[in-house]
Amino acid sequence: MTRQNQFDVIIIGGSYAGLSAGMSLGRSLRKALIIDSGKPCNEQTPHSHNFLTQDGKTPKEITELSKSQVLEYKTVESHQGKAIEAKKIENGFEVITENGEKFNSKKLIIATGIIDEVPNIKGFQECWGISLIHCPYCHGYEFKNKKTGIIANGERGFHISSLVNNLTKDITIFTRGKADFTEEQFQKLEKNNIKIIETEIDELKHQNGNVESLILSDGTIMNFEAIYGAFPFKQHSDIPELLGCEMTEMGHIKIDQFQKTNVVGLFACGDNSSPMRAVANAVYTGSLTGAMVNMELTNEGF
C-alpha cells in the first residue's frame, strides 16, 4: 500500500452529505478522501428548493460549487469511481473501487444515499423527480393550486395528502388496489374533498417528464399537472450491509445521535440514514458527521 493511499477518513459518496462531511474534516486538517460514482439520486431533478442561499439552483450547480469549495482544503482529495467493497482491517478500513484501486483509512463515512424503486409503469421513470415528486417541502410550492394526484396508500398516503392539502384543493389519491385507511382517515379525506381511486395505473402520459395524464387499467384517462409518489427504496450501496450495519425497520442505516453505526469506526449520514429527505438535512448530517469523526480521532490521538 503506497503512502498516498492512507487517509484519516474515507467518505464514500460525494453528494451533499459527503461533501459537507469533507468540509468539516478539511477545516480540522484531517486527511480525507471522498470517493464518488457521480450518480446522485436527484440527477433528473430540475431544481432544488428549501435550502437557504441555493433555492432554485439545479442539483448539479449546488454540487459543483460545493465540491470546488471543499477541495480548497488541501488535506481533502476527491476520487471519481465507484466503491464496491469495504472491509475492516487492523486500525481501520480498506475500500476497493470497481477498478481495483485500494484505499485505507482509520475511519469510514458512508454517504451513499438511497435508490427509489419506482414502479415499472410506462412514463414513471421519465417523470421521477420532475413532475412525479416525493416531497411537498422540496417541490410542492412549484405545483401549488395544480390538479394533483398522489400515488400512495395507508398511513403514507394519508400523511402526504394532509400536507399537499395546504398547497392545492384538487387532490386525488391512487391506492393501486384496496384503500388501506382507518375509518377516521377516510372521514378526514372525505371532509377535505380528497378523492380515492383504487384502480391500477397503466401509464403516465407526459411531455419531457412533465405529467399530462394518468391512464388507468380500465381505460380511464385523468388529466393532472403534478403527481406525488411514495415508493419503496433501497440502499444505493451494499457496503453498509457487507460491513454488518444494523438497519431500521424502514430500511435506513441505524445510527446514534453522533451518526455512529453499530460498526466501530463507521459513520453514516444523509438520505441513507434519515427519513428526513432533503438537501438541508443532508448538509446538516454531513457536517455533524465530520465533526463527530474528528472528535473521535482527536480523543484517540490526544
What does each of the 302 residues of the chain score in pLDDT, given as a tens digit? 344 689 999 999 999 999 999 999 999 999 999 999 988 877 788 888 999 999 989 999 999 999 999 999 999 999 999 999 999 999 999 999 999 999 999 999 999 999 999 999 999 999 999 999 989 999 999 999 999 999 999 999 999 999 999 999 999 999 999 999 999 999 999 999 999 999 999 999 999 999 999 999 999 999 999 999 999 999 999 999 999 999 999 999 999 999 999 999 999 999 999 999 999 999 999 999 999 999 999 999 99
Q: DSSP of the chain, one letter per residue?
A: --GGGEEEEEEE--SHHHHHHHHHHHTTT--EEEEE-S--TTTT-S---SSTT-TT--HHHHHHHHHHHHTTSTTEEEEES-EEEEEEETTEEEEEETT--EEEEEEEEE---EEE---S-BTHHHHBTTTEES-HHHHGGGGTTS-EEEE--HHHHHHHHHHHTTT-S-EEEE-SSS----HHHHHHHHHTT-EEE-SPEEEEEEETTEEEEEEETTS-EEE-SEEEE---EEES-SHHHHTT--B-TTSPBP--TTSB-SSTTEEE-GGGG-S--SHHHHHHHHHHHHHHHHHHHHHHH-
All structural domains of the chain? 3-115+232-301 (3.50.50.60), 118-229 (3.50.50.60)
Give the pTM: 0.93
